Each structure stands twice: as C-alpha cells, then as structure tokens.
Chain A
C-alpha cells in the first residue's frame, strides 16, 4: 500500500494544507518511510481483539442540563481575526453550496 503523489495531494486537500509540488514529492518518500515501519502490524493476529476505542470503558459521565454558561475571560473580538456586529467574518462565500464546492 505505497503512498503515491496523488495520495499526498488528496490528503493535503482533505487537511486543507497547501503543499508545493516539490514538497509533495518529498512527502511521498517520508510517508512511505514511516509507513514502512508500520508493516510490523500486518503480521499481528488480531482476530477477535476489540479495538481500544473509547478510553475508559466504564461509560461516560454526563452533565446536567442547567447551570451558567462557561465564561470567556477575554471577549471574542479580543482573539478573533475579524469580527463585525458580533459576527465572525471570513472571506466571502456566495452561498452554502458554493462554499462546500470551494472547500471540498
């Protein structure tokens, strides 16, 4: 299951990471180098072994549906890059549909 340059570009796109052509080429080698070491896992028999999903199998502690909101000690506009009238602003998207097109 060697990683190809198309794989690198695909995951870079999924992760919204701009990767240059040159760096993508290097990453093919780097990721294959790392994943090569993962081949050790292929030989392990895990038939019937539960995945270690969900740390602490005792179940999840829940919160009651009440109480004060968690405070922000500095207001949103103290840390958000762009705000206006309480909104957070991002570069314009024409619509939701265009947005998903642009960001997928």
Chain B
C-alpha cells in the first residue's frame, strides 16, 4: 500500500492541481472527475473503505463547471479546481450533513460552514462528505451509524477516528486535502494511522461556524493533507477571524506554505518525557528517535522537558467533553429537523427520537456528561476537571516560556488497530493520550508520517505555542524532506 503513496504523482497534490487549472491545462470539472476516478479505483465508497458517505457527482461536476465561469478570482485561487472532501459534521449546502448519525440522516444544512465557504472561494470543489464516528465521538470510525470505515493501508484495521473517513480518502489518493474536526485528537490520530499529515490549529484559529458542536471549548476544524504542503495550503485558506464565531481569534494568519525551506538552526525542540512512557511500543520510540536525529542534523537542539500533568489529560477530557456534549446534543430533539420518532405525547417522542437516533457511544457520553454536570456532582467533576485543565495548559505555557519553541512526541501509543479490537470504552479513550492535551490547552499540533511498523504507518506529533502554526509547519516541512522515503519505513 505504501507504494501507492510513494508513487503518488505530484500533479495530484493540491499545488499541482491548482497550477494545472490556473494554467488552463485542465478544467476544474476535469480535476473533480479525476478525483472521482481515483476514489473509485481505491474503492472509497460503502462497498470498500466506506470512507465517503455522501456524494453527488453530477451536482459536483456542475458546480466545478460553474466555478470556471462564475469568477475569475476563484479560477486563480490557491485551490483552483482542487477536489476536497469534508467531514460529515461540517455544514455544506448541497450534500447532507449527518454527523455519522441516524438522528441527522438525510439532513441538508440550509447554511454553509465558514471553512467550506473559504475553500470554495479559493476555487476548491467539494467532492463528498466523509465517514466519521457519530458526532465525532470515537477514535476508530467504528461508531458511525453508517458502518465503520477502513484503513487504506490495511483494510482489516481502523483508519482511526473520529475523522477516519477524511483520513482514508486522502490516504487512498482520492483528494490531496480533506477537512476533519478535532476535539481530542480526531485529526492527528487518524492521520497517524493512515500515514498522512493532519493538523489541529490553535483553538480560535479556524471558525467553528458550521462545525456541528461536540465539545465547544475543544472543537476545532482541522486539515488533512497528503503532504505537509497540502495541509499548509488547506489551513492557510480556512484560517482567520470570522464574525460568526465569538471564539474565533483576531490574529493575523501567515501563509504557511512560506515556511517551506525554513532553517531549523537554533530551534529548540522539546522532548517531553511523559510522552515516552515505559509502555510505549519500542519501535515507535525508535521512529521518534530517528526524527529527533533528523532535527539535530537540521541544526535544531533537542531538549528533555516535562509536562507533569499529562497523565491527567484523559480524565479531564472525558469529563469536559461529555459535559459539553450533553448540552450541545440537546438540540437534537426531533422538533425542528432530523429524525422524529412519533410516540404518545411530547416526552415520549423526545425519548423515542433520541434513543433511536443516537448510537451507543453517544448515549453513553451524553449520560456521562449529564451526570458530571448534575446537582451535587458539578464541583467534584466538572469544576475540578476545568481547574486541572488550567494546570495542563500551564504546563505548555511554562515549557514554551522556558525557551523551547516546539515539542515533538509520538502521535499515538500504537499503530492502527484491527476493527473490533477495543471493546472497552476506556481502552478506546486511551488512544487519545498524546493528543488530547493540545485540545485541552488550545495549542496547535500536527501529525506527520515518521515511519512504519509492520507496514503500518507511525505518526510523529509537533506541538507549538498558541498561534505559532508557521513555525510548526517550518519544522514539519523540514522533517518531511529530511526523512524522505524513510517516513514510510
């Protein structure tokens, strides 16, 4: 499988496609058609990877044709004609937005997410909506109401989650860029499992308007790229202040592609010991050491550091996220949209609709979240968790204030696991141990391939201070170039 990626022709990169479209070599319509062909070849649909849930080829090709005529600007954009897939929890106007849930099956949003608008304004064509764990709750895409997605590297294994469908369509070569969403690692972990690049920007960097909320204080739209460059182009297009989101930050956005070729001389990269625990797979440790060597050769200093509250991230995360989710998912009541299961009276209709509409994991988390917020437990659970969250954020603040520019860690404690391997919820939750910290602290982080174990990709994670995505991309570009084909071995 890794041969496919190695053999991926540069003209299917975001930059390559946009250049061909801008030069008039191909039309946007042709670029979209080629994406569908690549998708068919890789069997991304329900009969194969089950990565792509909703597509409408004719409408998509029409839209791509429309793009070419409606606006010169769009035709010259960074993403002119670039086919992009979007996670099913990000609102689009023509394709359904079902969040991988029965409760929203068939729902077509009457408004569009800001990130999607920005992609389209840069010339991109949205080719489909991707499979996900229901309401982004999961780490394997097995919690989708529409069946699990599969990992293109090994179809017996999960692609990770919750944005597993987006990771899979990029890894399968259909599109160079896909949007995902992060709450505790839902972009970085599947990127690591599928051997591609996944970025979670700083909280507030990308508008959440149109991203169906799971845990509002943690959620952030993220970008998958086949390469660092693809991810950089994608993120710089969607980033920036949006008046529709009060948590979107008014911080200038750099052109991340310009970080390519940046020197790492003098850069201090921290190696937090808590991310290299004894139980870490020795082969993953080895791949990380190889990456640290590469950083040193590029002129960076690697420094041992400590983020002492790291092991509390999962307990904190699994209180804060379900608490917010229990409230965010209250709107799915069958009154204004989505599934309604009629029953005798309103209360019974609510219960029938929600118990039929939500899957097991979503139900479990709503109950957990309701419990930790309910009278008598708020202080012990929710408030305490939010206080410890402050300590976790302070860890990052302190380490970055000490002269460390970036942190480098493994993205996950293990490579992609087989479907059905993790039946215990908490064991599944532990997939996020190295990623949830960045969501809790709000700092940007990204995963990129740093090698393979038994043919399964391993991801390495860069973590940066708030809004310092540019420096993070600089290191990612440099590491990608330094590792070259090693990144796949």
A and B are partners in one complex rather than unrelated chains: yes
Kindly state the separation between the CA atoms of A87 and B440 in the bound complex, as whole angstroms. Answer: 41
Please give the distance in Å from B113's CB to the nearest CB on chain A: 13
Docked CA distance A16–B370 (Å): 11
Q: Known contacts A74-B110, A79-B108: does B387 contact A103 (CB below 8 Å)? A: no
Q: Decide if B352 touches A18 in the complex (CB within 8 Å).
A: yes
Known contacts A41-B384, A56-B204; decide if A18 and B367 are in contact (CB<8 Å). no
Q: Known contacts A16-B347, A17-B367, A81-B337: does B426 contact A33 (CB below 8 Å)?
A: yes
Residue picked from A14, A17, A78, most chain B C-beta under 10 Å = A17
Task: Give complex CA distance A30, B393 in Å.
Answer: 29
CB < 8 Å: which of B110, B204, B385 contacts A55?
B204
Which residue on chain B has the smallest CB distance to residue A72? B110
Is the beta-carbon distance between B350 and A71 smaller than 8 angstroms?
A: no
In this complex, how many residues of chain A approach chain B with their Cβ under 8 Å: the count is 56
The answer to whether A51 and B111 touch across the interface, beta carbons within 8 angstroms, is no
Minimal Cβ-Cβ distance residue in A for B377:
A1
Say yes or no: is A68 at the interface (Cβ < 8 Å to chain B): no
Query: What mask results when residues 26 to 68 of chain A are scored 1 for a CB within 8 Å of chain B, else 0?
Result: 0100110111011011101010011111011000110100000
Does B41 sit within 8 A of A, measured CB to CB?
no
Within 8 A of A (CB), among B199-255: 203-204, 217, 243, 246-247, 249-250
* Chain B residue at smallest Cβ distance from A80: B336
B336 touches A88 (CB 8 A): yes
A84 CB-CB contact with B under 8 Å: no
The yes or no answer to B366 lying at the interface (CB within 8 A) is yes
CB-defined contacts of A14 to chain B, threshold 8 Å: 370, 374
Residues of A within 8 A of B247 (CB): 55-56
Contact A90 B363 (CB under 8 A): no
Whether A17 pairs with B386 at a CB distance below 8 angstroms is no
Contact of B389 among A15, A42, A52 (CB under 8 A): A52
Docked pose: A91 CA to B316 CA in angstroms: 39
The contact of A18 among B243, B355, B424, by CB within 8 Å, is: B355
Chain A residues within 8 Å of B250, by CB = 61
Measured as residues with beta carbon below 8 angstroms from the partner, the interface class of chain B is 35 or more
The stretch that binds A, out of B5-13, B63-71, B307-315, B410-418, is B307-315
Q: How far is the CB of B432 from chain A (nearest CB, A)?
A: 13
Instruction: Assess whether A91 is in contact with B349, with CB atoms less than 8 Å apart.
Output: yes
Q: Report whether B354 and A50 are in contact in the complex, using a CB–CB cutoff of 8 Å.
A: no
Contact B326 A15 (CB under 8 A): yes
Closest to A8 in B: B367
Whole-angstrom distance from the CB of A77 to the nearest CB of chain B? 11
Q: Which listed residue, B93, B246, B335, touches A90 by the CB 8 Å rule?
A: B335
Shortest distance between the CB of B447 and any CB in chain A (Å): 23
> Does any Cβ of A come within 8 Å of B442's Cβ?
yes
Answer whether residue B333 sits at the interface, using C-beta atoms and an 8 A cutoff.
Answer: yes
A34 to B340, CA, bound (A): 31
Contact A40 B311 (CB under 8 A): yes
Bits for A1-19, please: 1 = Cβ < 8 Å to B, else 0.
Answer: 1010001101110111111
Chain B residue nearest to A59 (CB atoms) is: B246
C-alpha spacing A8/B366, complex, angstroms: 11
CA distance A41 to B390 in the complex (A): 13
Query: In the complex, are the beta carbons of A91 and B374 less than 8 A apart?
Result: no
In the bound complex, do residue A11 and residue B345 qualify as a contact, i.e. CB atoms below 8 Å apart? no
Any B CB within 8 A of the CB of A97: no
Contact indicator B315/A71 (Cβ below 8 Å): no
CB within 8 Å for A61 and B246 given contacts A17-B366, A49-B387, A81-B334:
yes
Query: Least Cβ distance of B112 to chain A in Å?
Result: 8
User: Complex formed: what's the CA distance from A76 to B367 in Å?
Assistant: 30
Chain B residue at minimal CB-CB distance from A55 = B217
**Residue among B354, B383, B389, B391 making CB contact with A17, cutoff 8 Å:** B354
Query: Quick check: is B421 within 8 A (CB to CB) of the other chain?
Result: no
Contact B366–A41 (Cβ < 8 Å): no
Closest to B357 in A: A17
Task: Check: B342 CB closer than 8 A to any chain A CB.
Answer: yes
Contact status B387-A16, CB under 8 Å: no
Would you call B400 an interface residue if the criterion is a C-beta within 8 Å of the partner chain's C-beta atoms? no
Contacts of A40 in B (CB 8 A): 311-312, 315
Known: A18-B351, A51-B387, A51-B390. A31 touches B368 (CB 8 A): yes
Instruction: Determine if B371 is an interface residue (Cβ-Cβ < 8 Å).
Output: yes
B276 adjacent to chain A (CB < 8 Å)? no
Set of chain B residues within 8 Å of A63, measured between Cβ atoms = 243
Q: Is the CB of A37 within 8 A of B326?
A: no
User: Which B residues fall within an 8 A CB radius of A?
Assistant: 93, 107-108, 110-112, 203-204, 217, 243, 246-247, 249-250, 309, 311-312, 314-316, 318-319, 326, 330, 333-338, 340, 342-347, 349-352, 354-355, 358, 363-364, 366-368, 370-371, 374, 377, 380-381, 383-391, 393, 424-426, 429, 440, 442
What would be 22 A-B contacts, judged by CB atoms less than 8 Å apart? A7-B371, A16-B333, A16-B354, A18-B354, A27-B367, A38-B318, A38-B319, A40-B315, A41-B312, A41-B319, A44-B384, A46-B388, A49-B390, A49-B391, A52-B386, A52-B390, A52-B393, A79-B108, A79-B110, A80-B335, A81-B334, A103-B350
6 nearest A-B residue pairs (beta carbon):
A18-B351, A51-B386, A18-B355, A46-B387, A81-B340, A74-B110
Q: A34-B318, A44-B384, A99-B346 are in contact. List 4 more A-B contacts (CB 8 A).
A: A17-B367, A52-B217, A56-B247, A103-B350
